[in-house]
Chains A and B, each alone.
Chain A
Amino acid sequence: MPEFQLLGQKPTRQGFGEGLVVLGERYDNVVVLGGDITESVMTSFFRDRFPDRFFSIGVAEQNATTIAVGLALSGKIPFFASYGAFCAFRNADQLRISVCYNNVNVKIGGGHAGVSVGPDGATHQALEEIAVIRTLPNMTLVVPCDYMETKKATIAIGEIWGPSYIRFGRANVPWFTTEDTPFRLGRAEIFRDGSDVALIACGAMVWQALLAADMLAKRGISACVINNHTIKPMDVETIITAACRCGAVVTAEEHQIYAGMGSAVAEVLAKNYPVPIEFVGVRDTFGGSGDPDELMEKFGLTWKSIYAAALVAIERRDKGSTGVRRPTEVPRFTPADGYAA
Chain B
Amino acid sequence: MKAENLRIVFRSTVYENRPRRSEEFAEIAREIRRDIIKMLVLAGSGHSGGPLGTADIHAVLFFGGYMRYRPKDPWWPGRDRYVLSAGHLCPVLYATLARAGFFPVEELRTLRKYGSRLQGHPGRDMGLPGLETSTASLGQGISIAVGMALSDKWLDKSDRRVFALTGDGELQEGSVWEAAMAAAHYKLDNLCWIVDNNDCQIDGRVPNVMSIYPIDKKFEAFGFAVMQCDGHDYEELSTCLEQFLENHRRAIGKPTVIIARTKMGRGVSFMEDDYRWHGKPPTPEQALKALQELEDPYITVVEPAEV
Contact = CB atoms under 8 A, between A and B. Distances in A.
A101 B147 contact: no
Contacts of A63: 143, 146, 175, 178-179, 181-182
Interface of B is mostly: helix
Given A73-B148, A94-B143, A101-B125, 10 more contacts: A52-B155, A60-B178, A62-B174, A63-B179, A66-B147, A67-B144, A73-B144, A93-B140, A94-B175, A102-B133
A57 B121 CA distance: 28
A71 B150 contact: yes
Interface in A4-22: none
Size band of the interface chain B makes with A: 20 to 34
A67 B140 contact: no
Interface in B119-176: 123-125, 132-137, 139-140, 143-152, 154-156, 174-175
B222 interface: no
B136 A66 contact: no
A274 to B, nearest CB: 35
Contacts of B181: 58, 60, 63
B8 to A, nearest CB: 31
B178 A74 contact: no
Interface of A: 29, 31, 52-53, 55, 57-58, 60, 62-63, 65-76, 78, 93-94, 96-98, 101-103
A71 B139 CA distance: 17
Given A70-B149, A76-B155, A97 B143 contact: no
27 contacts: A52-B155, A55-B150, A58-B181, A60-B175, A60-B181, A63-B146, A66-B147, A66-B175, A67-B150, A67-B182, A69-B140, A70-B143, A71-B150, A72-B147, A73-B148, A74-B152, A75-B151, A76-B155, A93-B137, A94-B137, A94-B140, A96-B137, A97-B134, A98-B140, A98-B143, A98-B144, A102-B134
A71 B147 contact: yes
B186 interface: yes
B274 to A, nearest CB: 29
Contact of B151 (A66, A71, A93): A71
A125 B147 CA distance: 29
Contacts of B136: 97
B125 A66 contact: no
B147 A74 contact: yes
